[in-house]
Structure 1
Amino acid sequence: MSEPSYLTSPRRRGPRNGVRAVAAVGVVLAIAAGGSYAAGLGPFARGDDGPDPAAMEQARAFLADWSAGRLPSAAGRTTRPGTAEEVLQSFTAGLDIEKPKLTAAKEAEEAEDGTLGVPFTARMPISGLGTWTYESRLPLREQENGDWKVDWRLSLVHPRLSDTEKFRLEREETAAPKVTDREGTSLNGGRYPSLAPLLGRLAGDAGGGPRGAVELVDRASGEAVRTEASFGEKPDPATADQPVRTTLDARWQSAAEEALAKADGKNAALVALRVDNGEVLALANSPSTGFNRAASGTYAPGSTWKIVTSSALLLKGAVKPDDVVDCPKYLTVGKEFHNVETSEHPGATFRKDFMESCNTAFISLRGKLDDAELGEVARTYFGVGQEWHVGIPTYDGSVPAPKDQTEKAASMIGQGRIQANPLIMASVTATAVSGEFHQPSVTAGNENGTRTEPLPREVVTQLRGLMRDTVTDGTARGLADLPGEVGAKTGTAEVSEDQDNNGWLVAHRGNVAVAVVVEEGVTGGGSAGPVVHSLLSAVPEDPS
């Protein structure tokens, strides 16, 4: 198969020791040529303050399609669909680009050639290396029928991509990284599959790991013209042979990998961490290769979030555990909310509502909290939404203020736009039962810019009691036979009408907090519960 004409396929090598847009003042076009600009109908005509909204909409739609990998759709928005699709495919695939993020600027300029130029920022994550960021410009031209299309040219993909120059990805072969657990036990991807995608990153942060570069090359000779982006650092010879020690515990990691077998082949993730300092003991994903759901996933946490909601209510004195808060089958707040299996508990106490995970009861208390209060509590006491430095890439949560009462109702039960993952929810659990947030960590010495306040002791005591009752008499009864004083909260999170609910369960025992999500697991107790049970059965003692 011939080489694409836009860039070369990536090749490997051993280690080695690197638009101008002018606003048109008066563009004169012949009326016979379609002359909309001559007639004063250009994108900034009639004294408009900005470009034609239809042009900007087409620019944003093209960038959104490209970002999402909908390359035929993106190409269809151009003046040369066939060529555009081939170039975009060759560029992203040939440079191992994963999930590009393309952001259009708000301003635009009319160029001398009659196009409307929309600047954009391209953030191109290159698999296993890092993100290549650059600026480019998207030209749009109005068609005879009044529609706008991207005026296709190579330079819109990158300003230096041309008929004479293209890009090539170079990767340098590096030695396998040496990473150990907290006790010095060697960790490798063969024995601990979930760690395989992370080992290179962990070693890379210590000065080793993957290295490479995006180079601009001459099409005719293949010689490098310049280095556009480089990734990775040369290891320090003084420390190159020293292993990177992590906070992980080999016993817990092994048990976590085995426990995910209880997820019945579904996508799932697990995090176990120490309550007293946030050190991650185990982090596992199913499947073990590829995306790190455990720390970078973005999920609605469902009813496990009721730990945070309960904290907000208890902090404010808006409810006490033994107050009566009725639990009806349904409650309408813009839309109809219901409980799992449309259960109901007339005359229930708040304790019972927590134990049985009653959505309608929690939603009925929404008026007790200000619109932004749930997010403030999450950030102030649990560190959610602040920037975490864990030692590996993470998503650190989002709790935006609700847009309306329907979204506020959904937020009370961990739905709406609230986003979390098992790392966040394990940390939430640890904070709830200890009263103090500790930034999670996989490696030592990470920067910590978080600022939180401790939960009052009375609130911690109440939360621990609610979680313990959930195990002895509530939806987490499946953990009741485990040794030790286990506390937990189940969660069922809606995804879409076309998918089964995600199942969640968070738990704590001794000095360990655990969180598990099972995609399309239907219920937390039924899907995530067996995973947590397997883990805590396999490792009955706290780590030293």
Structure 2
Amino acid sequence: MNTFPDLPRTGPRRRPRTAVKALVAVTAVAAVAVGGAWGAGLGPFEGESGPDPEAVAEARAFLADWAAGRLPDAAARTTRPDRAQEVLSSFTAGLDIEKPVLTAGKPTEDEGSGGRAVTVPYTARMPVTGLGTWTYTAELPLRERGGEWKVDWRLSLVRLSGTEKFRLEREEAEPVRADDRAGRTLSAATHPSLGPVLARLARSTDGGGPRGAVLLVDRVTGEVRRTEAAFGSKTPENEGPVRTTLDARWQTAAEQALEKTGGKNAALVALRVEDGQILAVANSPADGFNRAVSGTYAPGSTWKIVTSSALLLKDAVAPDDVVDCPRYLTVGKRFQNVETSAHPGATFRKAFTESCNTAFIGLRSRLGDDELGEVAARYFGVGQTWHVGVPSYDGSVPEPRDATEKAASMIGQGRVQANPLIMASVTATAVSGRFHQPVLVPGTEDTTETEPLPPRVVAQLRTLLRATVTEGTARALAPLAGEVGGKTGTAEVSDDQENNGWMVAHRDGVAVACVVEEGVTGGGSAGPVLHALLSAAPRS
């Protein structure tokens, strides 16, 4: 079993301030970046009041480094770098954590510290590979000495004391037998891309699939003190196949469509607009990570559907308003359009259909700092807890930390995180006006709470999506029969990686979304995939 190494209790140690889980244990790859290159080093908004902004910036930078897997950098921001790096490494690898999402809360100044001590609470969403997400809250204490802020390292930072350690236990389960919505048998043999999906399929409200737990145990005796997180439940015996919402015809078309990527890592989802029922989940490679449902990606310009909704909801812009689209726009850093295009005197409609980054960024002051996240959650269900039937990542739209990050959020970059499941759902919500929790198994619990989009906003969004196909960047779908709407996206990853390509679309009551890692552009990489899918899939 993987556990933390024996570590003596560490008492509070002050440090300077910076200026400006048969049961088997697993070992996994260290955490991967959340938010990409946007995660670290961005300061607070100008004029922020309360605790020293430099302390808050240091806490956020620590969380960003930890989330991105830059553990030496995170540890260097603490009062005990050697111990911090050892514990953080054991935490992420020993508990098989990948791609954590760490969100800072409202900071407070410790009473009686004279401003030299600040506490920043944080919420951690820790995806345990193959099981689910462990969510907890903790606090980061920061101390200032000699004009420098540092995270005051202690084991409570990761919910431990000197007498405790974590243990990850998992009980592997055989993939359940499953049928599609028409009773056709589904298997990894007939549909290879369903391998990782069927292995984690839950039996409606009875649970099933992989089971396990993160346990807090006594470091010496191994006695379990409490269960930090439990995943799955016992699969009912002598049950027949699980009936899913999948459609074997759509699934076949989806898997064949992904061959258009030339072997790149990619994923797509197709779901019904009227009820969120998932028709296809496909991944490339077929036997790898279920990136379609559990992946975390910047959605790039496909996110402009949500941004446009936020702007249209408050009448902050109208489709025919001139918004302009310069080649570049600097907000802390220089933003540019794909191929550095420019559209002087462009209307908002033109900015949407041509996916003009600078035009959308130029509208950032018309939205409050928290409005994009509020609209995403309230109308699109993004960031709420979804019960899909398999472990899923349900999105994150944190409030931007400064003006640069706000600009990035407007175009689906920064710390905005999604995947094909989320973006297919976003598309379905935009064209129907009502969010339906995506489901793979009928009857799964739905705890989401959303509001419908006003009919006028839905009509505007449908028009914009259609125009993007007929005259904009999604014209790869124009030859398809029917009223097809779509949106492309190009998402930056890092300086040494090509951009990810995105495309979302809807036709005949089905919404689809595809991401191609390092696809460079959405139209050039994801476009052929969705064209192949919609050409081959059955029409209702």
Amino acid paired to 1:382: F
Deviation at 1:504, TM superposition (A): 0.9
Structure 1 residues 323 and 169, CA gap change in structure 2 (3 angstroms): closer
What is the DSSP-based 3-state SS (H/G/I as helix, E as strand, rest coil) of the residue aligned with 1:388?
Answer: coil
Amino acid paired to 1:322: D
Report the TM-score, using the length of structure 1 for normalisation. Answer: 0.70
Q: Is the contact between residue 78 and residue 152 of structure 1 (CA under 8 Å) also seen in structure 2?
A: no
1:465-544 equivalences under 5 Å are: 465-542=463-540
Deviation at 1:318, TM superposition (A): 2.8
Deviation at 1:541, TM superposition (A): 0.8
Deviation at 1:129, TM superposition (A): 5.1
Q: Is the contact between residue 202 and residue 390 of structure 2 (CA under 8 Å) also seen in structure 1?
A: no
Q: Is the contact between residue 97 and residue 125 of structure 1 (CA under 8 Å) also seen in structure 2?
A: yes
Give the Cα separation in 2 of the matches to 1:206 and 1:368: 46
- Give the corresponding residue for 1:380: 378
Amino acid paired to 1:179: A
Structure 1 residues 504 and 87, CA gap change in structure 2 (3 angstroms): closer
1:332-411 equivalences under 5 Å are: 332-411=330-409
Amino acid paired to 1:206: D
Q: 1:30-81: CA deviations, max 9, x gaps?
A: xxxxxxxxxxxxxxxxxxxxxxxxxxxx999999999877899999999998
1:439-458 equivalences under 5 Å are: 439-458=437-456
Deviation at 1:103, TM superposition (A): 12
Give the Cα separation in 1 of the matches to 2:315 and 2:85: 59
Amino acid paired to 1:306: K
Give the Cα separation in 2 of the matches to 1:263 and 1:242: 36
- Give the corresponding residue for 1:181: 180
- 5+ residue gaps, structure 2, are 7-20, 25-57, 111-121, 139-149
Give the Cα separation in 2 of the matches to 1:295 and 1:512: 17
- Give the corresponding residue for 2:189: 190
Amino acid paired to 2:418: A
Q: Is the contact between residue 99 and residue 296 of structure 2 (CA under 8 Å) also seen in structure 1?
A: no
Higher relative contact order, chain-length normalized (CA < 8 Å, sep 6+): 2
Q: Is the contact between residue 285 and residue 294 of structure 1 (CA under 8 Å) also seen in structure 2?
A: yes
Deviation at 1:537, TM superposition (A): 1.0
Deviation at 1:354, TM superposition (A): 1.4
Q: Is the contact between residue 161 and residue 167 of structure 1 (CA under 8 Å) also seen in structure 2?
A: no
Give the Cα separation in 2 of the matches to 1:425 and 1:411: 15
Amino acid paired to 2:444: N
Structure 1 residues 200 and 470, CA gap change in structure 2 (3 angstroms): same
Structure 1 residues 122 and 379, CA gap change in structure 2 (3 angstroms): closer
Q: Is the contact between residue 178 and residue 203 of structure 1 (CA under 8 Å) also seen in structure 2?
A: no
Q: Is the contact between residue 169 and residue 215 of structure 1 (CA under 8 Å) also seen in structure 2?
A: no
1:107-506 equivalences under 5 Å are: 128=130, 174-203=173-202, 206-211=206-211, 235=234, 240-506=238-504
Give the Cα separation in 2 of the matches to 1:367 and 1:69: 33
What is the DSSP-based 3-state SS (H/G/I as helix, E as strand, rest coil) of the residue aligned with 1:498?
Answer: coil
Deviation at 1:471, TM superposition (A): 0.9
Q: 1:428-474: CA deviations, max 9, x gaps?
A: 11111111111111122222232222222222222111111111111
Structure 1 residues 479 and 240, CA gap change in structure 2 (3 angstroms): same
Report the TM-score, using the length of structure 2 for normalisation. Answer: 0.71
Structure 1 residues 301 and 65, CA gap change in structure 2 (3 angstroms): closer
Amino acid paired to 1:334: G
Structure 1 residues 94 and 371, CA gap change in structure 2 (3 angstroms): closer
Q: Is the contact between residue 259 and residue 534 of structure 1 (CA under 8 Å) also seen in structure 2?
A: yes
- 5+ residue gaps, structure 1, are 14-57, 109-119, 137-147
Deviation at 1:506, TM superposition (A): 0.7
Amino acid paired to 1:245: R
Give the Cα separation in 1 of the matches to 2:124 and 2:402: 33
What is the DSSP-based 3-state SS (H/G/I as helix, E as strand, rest coil) of the residue aligned with 1:317?
Answer: coil
Larger radius of gyration: 1
Deviation at 1:491, TM superposition (A): 0.9
Give the Cα separation in 2 of the matches to 1:401 and 1:91: 27
Which sits farther off after the overlay, 416-425 or 511-520? 416-425
Q: Is the contact between residue 257 and residue 530 of structure 2 (CA under 8 Å) also seen in structure 1?
A: yes
Give the Cα separation in 2 of the matches to 1:408 and 1:72: 28
The Cα RMSD (Å) is 5.0
Give the Cα separation in 2 of the matches to 1:474 and 1:121: 40
Q: 1:289-329: CA deviations, max 9, x gaps?
A: 34322222222211111112222222222332223332221
- Give the corresponding residue for 1:39: none
Structure 1 residues 235 and 378, CA gap change in structure 2 (3 angstroms): closer
Q: 1:404-448: CA deviations, max 9, x gaps?
A: 333332222222222222111111111111111111111222222
Deviation at 1:133, TM superposition (A): 9.8
Give the Cα separation in 1 of the matches to 2:452 and 2:181: 27
Structure 1 residues 325 and 245, CA gap change in structure 2 (3 angstroms): same
Structure 1 residues 79 and 360, CA gap change in structure 2 (3 angstroms): closer
Deviation at 1:489, TM superposition (A): 0.7
Structure 1 residues 59 and 463, CA gap change in structure 2 (3 angstroms): closer
Amino acid paired to 2:277: E
Deviation at 1:234, TM superposition (A): 7.0
Deviation at 1:178, TM superposition (A): 1.4
Deviation at 1:170, TM superposition (A): 7.2
- Give the percent of matched residue pairs that are identical in Structure 1 and Structure 2: 68
Structure 1 residues 218 and 523, CA gap change in structure 2 (3 angstroms): closer
Give the Cα separation in 1 of the matches to 2:154 and 2:380: 49
